Structure 1
């Protein structure tokens, strides 16, 4: 555990599949804008891209959010960062949503 970020991993990519339900008008656009802004708001985030999910094969997802972190330490910083705590979490918790998350070591 002595390598990058304390876990031996380099850059981490997080993919979140997000479904939003019964959100008020404009909420999805606000979510997309704020999720995309994470790259400018939090040091250690290399990229933050929000894709509109396609409803192929009845897929229920609204967004695919792809976020690249410098390393595990950057991800840990993001979790406690005011942008995550005060802007992103309230956007999610103010509506009904479902999410699935996966992480990948991009440097491998």
Structure 2
């Protein structure tokens, strides 16, 4: 394989792997409100975000934010000696209550505009 062919193969591999790179938390936080306003992501009773419309950075935003939430819920549960599911449930209810009108929340397994 020639040097230029190797470089070409490397560039192709790099381009194909770029979408797999995770979004960092700060970037996700910066994009979250716009994604919610655009109806791309919504809050769930489980305390986590889910993708409503799979467009743009929606999945990467959800992944980054949910990872941080999972870590925080675990920390809180361990600190207070309670189940993580309890923390998730309380956090989910609070997030839904705080969600502004016009954004999506999940109720009874379905997305609804609040």
More helix by share: 2
Q: TM-score, normalised by structure 2?
A: 0.26
Q: Answer with 1 or 2: which has the greater Rg.
A: 2
Q: TM-score, normalised by structure 1?
A: 0.27
Q: Which structure carries more relative contact order (alpha carbon 8 Å, separation 6+)?
A: 1
More strand by share: 1
